[in-house]
Structure formats: C-alpha cells, structure tokens
Structure 1
Amino acid sequence: MSFGTRNHNNDSPMAEINMVPMIDIMLVLLIVFMITAPLMTHSVKLQLPQASSQLNNEQIKKVFISIDEAGKYYVDNKLMDKNTLSTTLGGFSKQTELPEIQLYADQSTSYSYVAELLSLLSEQGLHKIAFVTQPENK
C-alpha cells in the first residue's frame, strides 16, 4: 500500500523529513523530565501563616530569633549554640499556645544557616514563622 506517489525512475534526493526519530527523542526527554522534576525539589515542610487584612493579635507571644553572617543564633538577643537552641525551641513547642517566631537574618547570611534553623523549627512543631525585613528607602 503506497501513501505517496514516488517516481522510481527519478534519481532526485528524497525531500521528506523523517519525524519518527525526533518524536522518539522528545518522548524520552519528556519521560526523563517527568521522573527527575519531583527529585529536584528539596524543601522544609512548613505551614506558613496566611496574610490577612485584619489587625494583628497582640496577645500572641513572639520569639525573636536572629542569625548573623557567621551563623550564630540569638534567641531574644541571647547567644545560643545549636544544642541549647534545640532545647529552647523544644520548650516553646510544649506550651499550650505556640509562639510566633520572628526570624531576623543578616543580609549576608548563608542560606544553609537559615535552612538549618527552619528545619529545626519544623521538627519542633513551630510553624508560625515571620521573616522580618526592613522596607526600602525610596
């Protein structure tokens, strides 16, 4: 069964593009991306607070955690190492009303220090986290 008419007497080159190899390559690439895309996202599972136009509830206890560019952690302006920080955060997580964590990070702080703190907060069950920034001067 012939779909196209081809003159066998003519020795001219075939002017058709074979699309099958290109389609095969595209399907392989699609499968590779479908498999690797979920593996490329590594994140800390947090339930971040939702923004609202209501006034802030001032009765919620706030804990101020600061990270300087050297990776030192401060809780309410008190320097803490990782073990003390973990113990302190564990104490906060056992309270009946969980406090809001206000995170102050120096602009030149490595992301690894922030990610480590977020992971520790998530492990302790502290999910109310606010990233504090300063507004731009216009």
Structure 2
Amino acid sequence: MAMNVGSPSASGDPEVMIDINTTPLIDVMLVLLIMLIVTIPIQLHSVELNLPQGNPPPPLVEPEVVRIHIEADGAILWNGEPVAGLPALEPRLASAAAQAVQPELHVRPDRAAAYHTVAAVMAAIQRNQLTKIGLVGSEQFL
C-alpha cells in the first residue's frame, strides 16, 4: 500500500492520476502474439521434386568434341594441331559453326597463359556463335 503525502488541493478532492495503466495493453499484445504464433503454418525445410524414374536413353549420335589448348607461350592447338594465331583459328571456328550439329568445344588454357589470349579465343568463339563450350582443366587453378 502506498500513501500520497502532499498538500491537499484547495477543494479537498483527490488529485487526478495522469498515468496510463499499461497492464491491459501488454495483456492484449501478448494474446495477439500467441494467436499469431499458433496460426502461422509450420515451415518445412524440404523441397518436393518430381524426378523422372528410370534411366534416360543413350544419345543416338556421340557428339564431336574439338579440344582447343592454349599454351603458356600463347600458342593455340586445335585437337593437338598447332594453329598460327587467332586469324587462322577464325576459319576453323566458322566451319565448326556451319555444321548441322555443332561440335562441343573444350577449351583448356594453361595456368601460365596470358589472360588476353584466353579472352581473345573466347571472344572468337562467341563471334562465331558456337554455343556448346566448356572450360576444362580448371582444377589446375585451385
């Protein structure tokens, strides 16, 4: 119990209390929080996938693979055969792009090859609109 010790007002009436009673507000907020927690569905940490059953059929025709090696000194090899720079590589890429079924290009740059040489070869491949490209031998860069 508490007692208000102070000067009484002139009229003798007790002073009006200005503080807000926050207990009902907190009770309502807690009830709303509990209702929200109860109504939210449980989140599942799995993704449902419908995967095909069985083995896929083997490809009818094995794809042709063209291996392009870029050596440390900037030399370019087309299936192990030296190519005299980018101007000589362009016609080979154009003929590969003109085929009915484009061959797969496996580009293998040497670890010490200059970046601009590798970028120039990749740009030449893109200019000739070849789409089946793979960079192989990336384990040497780890």
What band does the TM-score fall into relative to the shorter chain? 0.5 to 0.7
Q: Classify 1:91/1:55 alpha carbon distance in 2 versus 1 (closer, same or farther; 3 Å).
A: same
Q: Structure 1 regions of 5+ residues with no counterpart? A: 1-53
Identity, % of aligned positions: 20
Q: Classify 1:112/1:56 alpha carbon distance in 2 versus 1 (closer, same or farther; 3 Å).
A: farther
What SS does the corresponding residue of 1:97 show, helix, strand or coil? coil
**What is the letter of the counterpart of residue 70 of structure 2?**
I
Aligned residues: 83
Aligned to 1:108: 112
Aligned to 2:91: 87
Matches within 5 A, 1:1-138: 59-81=62-84, 82-133=86-137, 135=139
* Deviations 1:28-85, CA, capped at 9 Å, x for gaps: xxxxxxxxxxxxxxxxxxxxxxxxxx89957111100000011111000110022221
Report which structure shows greater RCO (CA 8 Å, sep ≥6): 1
Q: Structure 2 regions of 5+ residues with no counterpart? A: 1-55
What SS does the corresponding residue of 1:65 show, helix, strand or coil? strand
Q: Classify 1:107/1:88 alpha carbon distance in 2 versus 1 (closer, same or farther; 3 Å).
A: same
Shift of 1:91: 0.6
Bigger CA radius of gyration: 2
Instruction: Output the aligned Cα RMSD.
Output: 2.3
